[in-house]
Amino acid sequence: MTVLQESQHLVSDRTPHHARSTGDGGWVVSYLPGRTLTRDQAEAALLALEDMAALQAHVGLLGLTVLEAMGMAAMECPWPPPRKEGFAARALAWAGVSR
């Protein structure tokens, strides 16, 4: 996952989307029409797409799209939180450590 600057463009090896310089420090990104961004914002926009590609690889195993998984994950968890003490005790037991 890399975003590189090639002349007046920012490109990614994970997505066909790219950014181009408008001069005076402004950048436009192919999937964000009408917005002028800083270079850092343009790079962040491309990195977000790279992250989406990685997420798709994971959620694809579940038969979901990234948007479906994010929508489900944004919902409040219906289960009570696990007891931390029990988790720590199990973690220590797995590591072969006794209290």
Query: Which pLDDT belongs to residue 72?
Result: 94
Query: At 98, is the pLDDT very low, low, confident or very high (cuts 50, 70, 90)?
Result: low
Whole-model pTM?
0.68
Tens of pLDDT, residue by residue over 81-96, are: 887 765 666 666 666 6
Q: Which residues of 37-71 are buried (b: 16+ CB within 10 A; e: fewer)?
A: beeeebbebbbebbeeeebeeebeeeebebeebee
Nearest to 43 by CA among 19, 76, 65: 19
Percentage of the chain exceeding pLDDT 90: 60
Nearest to 43 by CA among 96, 93, 1: 1
